[in-house]
Structure formats: C-alpha cells, structure tokens
C-alpha cells in the first residue's frame, strides 16, 4: 500500500457537487492499493499514520501525533498512485489492485484508523471526486507498507 499524507488545516471531498467528507485539523490521505497488499499492510500504515509525530508542540518541534492532537483524517482512494510512467506518455495502471480487492482493503484500512481513535471521513470509492485542502506547513509525506 502507498499513502500520500498531507497535514491539513481543513480538507473536503465532493462528488457531483455534494460534500461527502470534510475535516478540520488533521491529515489528508490519498490511499493506493496494489495486488500484493494484505490486511497486515493496512494495519502497518494505519498504526504509522495514527502515531507519526508530524504536529508541532509548544516549542515548534514535530513531537505530536494525529492521535495526540485529536486530529481527523480524510481518506480518499487513489489508484493512480500505482501508475507507471516509465514508458510512453500514458500511465500504465497494471500495478493497481482490481477495484473489488482494493475497495475491501481500503475500507479495512479506514476501519483500522477508526479503531485507533481517529475520526475518519472518506470520499466515494471509484467516483470522480473534487478534493480540496489547506496544506498545513506544507507537510507532505509518502508512506509505503513495503
């Protein structure tokens, strides 16, 4: 699994003009799933994201986690994270998991985050989405389970 994490002051996702997910302070997560990913990959990343120290303390040092600050997560499925652009001009998405498999693992990942005490909002799997955020910092990290 691969996640692009952006620390955010606020974020929202709209489908067909309707807001389906919105958070305040927390993280925006673009989540990609590949064929070999398992529940263990989802668990690893959920634990990493909940406890990763990316929020400042009173001295301006990144010493607090999403869990410490009571932050929220906006999780959006993103199969294009596994787009291969090495050949030609059109990305190849063969490394992305098939939709049925990816959807189940994505849902499980979000459930695991919730079990760690993180409020999770989501987009709509497989839909065309308009995603907006105010990146705080900016802080952007790429996390991979393998």
Q: Which residues are catalytic?
A: 78-80
φ, ψ of residue 60 in degrees (nearest 5): 80, 10
Name all contacts of 95-100 with Cβ < 8 Å and 24+ positions apart. Answer: 95/34, 95/35, 96/32, 96/33, 96/34, 97/33, 97/34, 97/35, 97/37, 98/35, 99/125, 99/126
């Amino acid at each position: 699994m691969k996640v692009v994490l952006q620390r955010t002051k606020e974020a929202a996702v709209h489908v067909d003009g309707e807001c389906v997910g919105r958070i305040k302070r927390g993280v925006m997560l673009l989540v990609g799933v590949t064929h070999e990913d398992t529940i263990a990959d989802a668990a690893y990343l959920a634990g990493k994201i909940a406890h990763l120290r990316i929020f400042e303390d009173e001295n301006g040092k990144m010493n607090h986690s999403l869990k410490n600050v009571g932050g929220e997560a906006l999780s959006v499925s993103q199969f294009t994270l596994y787009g291969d652009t090495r050949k030609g001009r059109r990305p190849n998405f063969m490394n992305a998991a098939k939709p049925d498999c990816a959807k189940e693992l994505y849902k499980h990942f979000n459930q695991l985050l919730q079990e760690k005490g993180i409020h999770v909002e989501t987009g709509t799997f497989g839909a065309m989405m308009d995603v907006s955020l105010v990146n705080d910092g900016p802080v952007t990290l790429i996390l991979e389970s393998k």
